[in-house]
A = this chain, B = another copy of it.
Amino acid sequence: MATILLKARLALELPAINQALDALLQTLPAPVRPAASHTVVSGGKRLRPLLTVLAARLFGCQDKRVYTLGCTLEMLHAATLMHDDVIDSAATRRGKPACHTVFGTTETILAGDALLSEANACVASFGDPRLCAVFSRATADTCAGEILELHAMHNTGLTQEEYASIIKGKTACLIRSACEMGAIFAGAPEAGVEALKTFGENIGMAFQMVDDALDCAPEEATGKPTGGDLREGKLTPPLQMYRNALDAASRASFDKAFEQGTFTQADVDAICAAVRERGYDAKTREAAEGYLSLARTALDAVPDAKERGILLQMADYVRDRKK
């Protein structure tokens, strides 16, 4: 397996990551802890905190506080998921009931606010203005990405540049910041911080594109309902390729249903099956490979520690992941 070192290291670091996350959850006001835990504990592969830890270790930092630092971005991520749940009125999240369906809208909004503000306070407690700047920029960019995405929904005229701006904001900037914060915390030289930043941003772009490819996969394979993006009116790369290849009449009919959000479940299943048959999901992964190549190249400039090999495997993991 091309990702065996990565998986072994994740298994090794996971207990300390989860312990740091639990400790951070205890800093939240007691009434919102259940709602916050529901979202934080229930999911995520903890790739963001792992990236912070790997980035710091790469530059020789052994300070255990890096687990806490890495978890601040996991909290920010959970906060955005909670506000998204309210906004989307989604019934489920990662196969479990969405937070607002269990705890209500009020608790979900407030628990999200509490997660974000305690994460922010935690970053500030490190006393390094560069960490504060990176974290606050990650927060603002994530928020801006989600706003852009919402305003681009049901828009068949979305350009590739607009799509790139959206995924950079909603996904890549957080992964970039996870890598950057680890390098800064480790006291890496400026060129090292830049390298990790470039690595993280490109890994993040690729991660989201593969996510968009996986959205067209059968539910049996991923555990997530097929075609969520199509139903929500997100013109991701595989859907854009599908649309662009349609003849004029079929495209007009697709556009009407896409813009009005009127696809039936049968439409969604048929379109996703066609996406797979015509290889648009595979082509999306190929496009993501461009970003992964930039990510790998960025690591030419970092120390040849064992973490460098693991970060290179992260690129393979992102390319090959099946769910």
Instruction: Point out residues on A near B: beta carbons under 8 Å.
Output: 29, 31-32, 83, 86-87, 105-106, 109-110, 113-114, 116-118, 120-121, 123-129, 132-133, 135-137, 139-140, 142-144, 146-148, 150-151
Q: Do residues A110 and B147 form an inter-chain contact, with CB atoms below 8 A?
A: yes
A-B contact pairs, 15 of them (CB 8 A): A29-B143, A29-B147, A31-B148, A31-B150, A83-B110, A106-B150, A116-B139, A117-B142, A120-B140, A121-B133, A121-B137, A124-B132, A125-B133, A128-B129, A132-B136
Could you say which of B109, B117, B142, B151 contacts A139, with CB atoms under 8 Å apart?
Answer: B117
A142–B116 Cα distance when bound, in Å, is 12
Residues of B within 8 A of A126 (CB): 129
A135: which B residues are within 8 A, CB to CB?
124
Residue from B113, B118, B133 within 8 A of A124 (CB atoms): B133
CA–CA, A86 and B105, complex, Å: 9
Contact between A139 and B121, CB atoms less than 8 A apart:
yes
A114 to chain B: which residues have CB within 8 Å?
140, 143-144, 147
Chain multiplicity (copies) = 2
Chain B residues within 8 Å of A113, by CB = 83, 116, 143
A32 — nearest CB in chain B belongs to which residue?
A: B147
Chain A to chain B: the 10 pairs with minimum beta-carbon distance, closest first: A117-B140, A117-B139, A132-B132, A121-B136, A120-B136, A124-B132, A124-B136, A124-B133, A29-B144, A29-B147
Residues of B within 8 Å of A146, CB to CB, are: 110
By a CB distance below 8 angstroms, the chain B residues around A143 are 29, 110, 113-114, 117
Q: Which residues of B contact A139 (CB under 8 A)?
A: 116-117, 120-121
Q: How far apart sit A123 and B133, CA to CA, in the bound complex (Å)?
A: 9
A230 to chain B, nearest CB (A): 20
Chain B residue, CB-CB nearest to A137? B121
Q: How far is the CB of A114 from chain B (nearest CB, A)?
A: 5
**CA of A87 to CA of B107, assembled, Å:** 9
In whole angstroms, what is the CA distance A135 to B124 when docked?
A: 9
Nearest-CB distance from A177 to chain B (Å)? 12
> Nearest Cβ in chain B — how far from A222, in angstroms?
27
CA distance A139 to B208 in the complex (A): 30
